[in-house]
Structure 1
Amino acid sequence: MLTPLLISLGILLGFQSPMARGQTYAVVVGIADYQALSYSTGDLRFADRDARQVVDFLQSKSGGNVLASHIRLLTNRQATQATIEQAMTLFQQAGANDRVILYFSGHGLPDSFVPYDARPGDQRKLLTYAAIKAAFRASKALTKLCIADACLSGGITRQQTNRSELAKTGRDGSNVAMLLASRSTQNAVEDRRLAGGAFTYFLLKGLTGQGDLNGDGIVTIRELHKYVAPLVRKRTKGKQTPVFYGRFSDSLPLAYL
């Protein structure tokens, strides 16, 4: 049973039957080139590419044909703390039947993600988990998702406010769900042979068909987890374990192929 792993990713990403209703609003961030870093001091190689691939997927038929006007793509120097937080006000356009998504690929810290303009030792320029949760709370959408391909990203599940937020799930109809590249103590690996983050690579592979383990034309959350988690662990030689965290049934459909 995957009780803590049952997430509304499929609904959020627009993986829905033609009869389903509701819009998707997404902020997609990928930072490979940091203002204060170079390749020798910590710049990444593929985070911006991963973000563009996520947008391509969202705009595809299997990704829900999400409207371009409902997506904010921020890469590299566009992805400052201020612009990301401003972009997340997009979530306030969502109605109760809609879904909101934040995808972030870049550096992570125990309590935050790292925007383009972050400076070493300066806590004022970070995208904190608290700020993300505040942006989600400000949205009327009943389904909300944070996807992160970042080091230490599992730490977002350990915040003090998270326990009380999850306790409300099922009572007020509001759900915050997270698909995270690694545990709170692990790094997230970029793989040159895959030309991307290992987590995002296998996540997208799973959602575009390879995660349909029983061949019925539908990728469920249980199937996606069973597909992604072992492949990421194997590819990273056990150094990275994805965390899927939330509350939905194992049979939740994520993609109709």
Structure 2
Amino acid sequence: MKFFNFSFLFLFSQACFAQTTYAVIVGISDYEILDYRTGDLKYADKDAIRFMDFLKSPLGGNVPNQNMVSLPNKRATKNNMSEAMRIFQKAGPYDRVIFYFSGHGVESAFVPYDVKQKDPSSLLTHADVKKAFKASKATTKLIIADACMSGSMKSKKPPVSMAKAVKEFNDINVAMILSSRSSQSSVETIRVKGGLFTFYLLNGLQGKADKNQDKKVTIKELFTYVSPRVKKGASNGQAPVFAGKFSDDLVLSLIP
């Protein structure tokens, strides 16, 4: 069961925009302090692999391996994630940087593999990611986070509001796609062998969201495709939210 999912997206095709992409891709299903009874996930690491495969494809921009850092499971420590994001500093002003995270999340933070119970300093905070983004010259800065909160990690505080979540990144112009509202859960399912949101997100980017069949998928088309399918698949218990600063006509992928 996925909870407070801080999922953000802003994808371009390098073939169209001649951008160089740098990406850090994190997927954690197996946590050091958890097991399947206390909150380990089934598909987070696999969703990260699927997203990386998309970036390698023509639709995702043919991103070369040397421009991506993959951190699955045990490799996804806080220190490794922080170090990996230094790759964003290689980007020029017309490039894009992407931080993809699939795993557990808590209020205003991502949960690394080596998180310590009751130790907030062991979390990778949104502020940490923002700092890495601000050090990059890239025009396009993307965060895609498929983050689940396990019962053992839930805070007694009310969920962070959408307004607060968006505001944290407003001054660096990050466009966001949140897989669910803060009061909702986000679903993993054996039917698609992954998270519903990531499943439909990738399907949409690979062409199914191209409603007007102009061989381009815009951010508006993607939302129109993803949102109702996730809602239906989750029996109306999960509603994706798109937020941030972007044009509805922003092209996310090109269809051959």
2:75 pairs with 1:78? yes
Aligned to 2:95: 98
Unaligned runs of 5+ residues in structure 2 are 1-7, 150-158
Q: Distance in 1 between matches of 2:85 and 2:41?
A: 24
Q: Distance in 2 between matches of 1:8 and 1:150?
A: 14
Deviations 1:185-241 (A, max 9, x none): 222211111100111100000000111112221111110000001111111112111
CA distance in 2, matches of 1:75, 1:17: 28
Name the SS for the 1:144 alignment partner: strand
Structure 1's 191 and 252: CA in aligned 2 closer, same or farther, altered over 3 A? same
SS of residue paired to 2:236: coil
Q: Who is 2:5 aligned against?
A: none
Deviation at 1:16, TM superposition (A): 4.2
CA RMSD across the alignment:
2.0
Counterparts of 2:168 and 2:107, CA distance in 1: 20
Single out whichever of 130-139 and 117-126 deviates more from structure 2: 117-126
Give, as a single letter, the amino acid of the residue that structure 2 aligns with 1:163.
K
The whole-number CA distance in structure 1 between the counterparts of 2:104 and 2:15 is: 35
Aligned match of 2:227: 229
1:244 to 242, 246, 251: 242
2:9 & 2:105 partners in 1: Cα distance?
A: 23
What is the TM-score normalised by the length of structure 2?
A: 0.87
Alignment partner of 1:59 out of 56, 59, 80: 56
What letter matches 2:101 in structure 1? F
- Matched position secondary structure for 2:175: strand
After superposition, residues 17-166 of structure 1 pair within 5 angstroms as 17-18=15-16, 20-151=17-148, 155=160, 158-159=163-164, 163=167, 166=170
d(CA) in 1 for partners of 2:204, 2:80: 31
The answer to whether the 8 A contact 1:229-1:242 is kept is yes
> Which residue identity does 1:186 align to in structure 2?
Q
Aligned counterparts, 1:201-240, within 5 A: 201-240=199-238
User: 1:208 and 1:155 mapped to 2: Cα distance?
Assistant: 32
Looking at structure 2, the residues matched to 106 and 146 of structure 1 have their Cα atoms a distance apart, in angstroms, of 14
Q: Shift in Å at residue 155 of structure 1?
A: 4.5
| Aligned length in residues | 239
Q: How many percent of aligned residue pairs carry the same amino acid?
A: 49
* Partner SS for 1:100: strand
TM-score, normalised with respect to structure 1: 0.87
In 1, the alpha carbon distance for the partners of 2:59 and 2:161 equals 28
Quote the residue 2:156 is aligned against. Answer: none
Which letter maps to 1:127?
A: L
CA deviation vs aligned residue, 1:48-70 (integer Å, no higher than 9, x gap): 00000101000001110001111
Distance of 2:168 and 2:192 partners within structure 1:
38
Q: Structure 1 unaligned runs (5+)?
A: 1-6, 169-173
2: CA distance between counterparts of 1:157 and 1:77? 30
Letter in 2 for 1:150: A
8 Å Cα contact 1:27/1:101 also seen in 2: yes
- Conserved in 2, the CA contact under 8 Å of 1:150 and 1:181? no
Question: Aligned letter for 1:189?
Answer: V
- CA deviations on 1:127-185 (whole Å, 9 max, x unpaired) are 11111111111111111011111137x9485448x53853x5xxxxx522222222222
